[in-house]
Amino acid sequence: MKNLSAAQIALLSALNREQCRLPKRLSMTGGVFAPDAQAAVARAIERVFIRHRTVGGTVALVRGGCLAGVFPYGLARLPDVPAAVDTLYRVASVSKLTLSFGVLKLVEEGTLALDMDIGEVLGYRVRNPAYAHTPITPRQLMTHTAGLMDAPQYDGPGIAGRLALRDMLTGEGAARNFAPTSPGTVFRYSNFGAGILGSLMEKATGEPFDLVMDRALFAPLGMTAGYAPQRLLPHAGRLASGYAVRPLRKPRLVYDAPAIVAQSTPGVDAERHFMASPGRLLITAPDAARLARLLCSDGEIDGVRVLSPASMAQMRQRQASIASVPGDAGRGLNVAFAPRVFGRPNVIGHQGVAYGMNAELWADPDTGDAVVMATSGTALLPVGDLVHCGWQMVCLGFAALGGR
């Protein structure tokens, strides 16, 4: 998602005050919603999903670092597979935030460095032709300041697997993939840049990207999640597909999860695996809520230390005038800022949108509260640079958790 402008923040803040209050404070016992409160929140969540013609989804709420409730709704797959607490959803660009945990783990291990020249890992020189003396770094890729664009070459033959990464960065026509800005100076959202991070991780370790993420993050935390659907074949029955929801028409299948999970499992190919890391994560809402808890933490949750306190602080820190980012990225390391947008002064996280699906992961590091939503398809009506369904649901979620 793009950075929210001051005007968008002001508008969304005002709309939130008008629409997203619950009638009374909801009772909780031991950090979990009491039965009457659970039912009230479930009804409110259902109303939002119905309003946006959502096929199915699951919402998870975290209060003070503890899972307060999980609320499934509708269908994970048409015509008759219900959404559940343990449904695995593709969460689109929430994958980018999750990716940062893995990158920082490799940085701590000494395998990567945030301000190194990416060419040192890829094995060939990578430069914006207009700024030939300025290296491109992982920090720039994690802040969307590297000056890379999602140009037709990336969106077409690149995503289709007909072009290797080297061709897109150094070959004929590569200049069209770069913006006319010096690396590290200007924010420009780029799926291509986030994809290069996955290739760097694969090249640096010699392991498939999805297995690097599993070793660094998912396995230590006991999660069933992954960037390669094929490795989730034993859990195929829990996968949500993706549906385009359009006015006056039935939902249309655009992401067939069971068919994709049956494809061959990817090996190591850093030159063609730059499509996985920007948006292919599949995860349950409760496990995504654990990522939100980790985002608020010092790097340790449930007795498992994933990252150091310093790495977590850096992930949340606004990247401005720091090392290879002399400009102001307006965000952390793949962490977007949404102050007052959801009724809280300090909320961070990421939105995901792909194949009709809308996912949200937003956390309040001051309180440890968080709201996570994943869907199998919903109306993608915009409100600013957010999706209306997701924005309303996150507002509702924070309201249910209390003003704090």
Catalytically active residues are: 93
Phi and psi at 195, nearest 5°, equal -65, -35
Check: CB of residue 6 under 8 Å from CB of residue 12: no
Rounded-to-integer distance, Cα 334 and Cα 273, Å:
19
Q: Is 258 exposed, middle or buried (0-12, 13-18, 19+ CB in 10 A)?
A: middle
Rounded to 5 degrees, what angle do the CA atoms 187, 192, 194 make?
Answer: 70
- Whether the ω angle into residue 79 lies within 30 degrees of 0, i.e. cis, is yes
Pair of tokens at residue 8: 């968008």
Check: CB of residue 153 under 8 Å from CB of residue 162: no
Show the 3-state SS of 158-225: HCCCCCCHHHHHHCCCHHHHECCCCCCCCCCCCHHHHHHHHHHHHHHHCCCHHHHHHHHHHCCCCCCC
The residue written with tokens 């049956």 in the block is: 262
The enclosing H or E element of 270 equals none
Rounded-to-integer distance, Cα 52 and Cα 245, Å:
9
Check: CB of residue 250 under 8 Å from CB of residue 314: no
Rounded-to-integer distance, Cα 232 and Cα 238, Å:
9
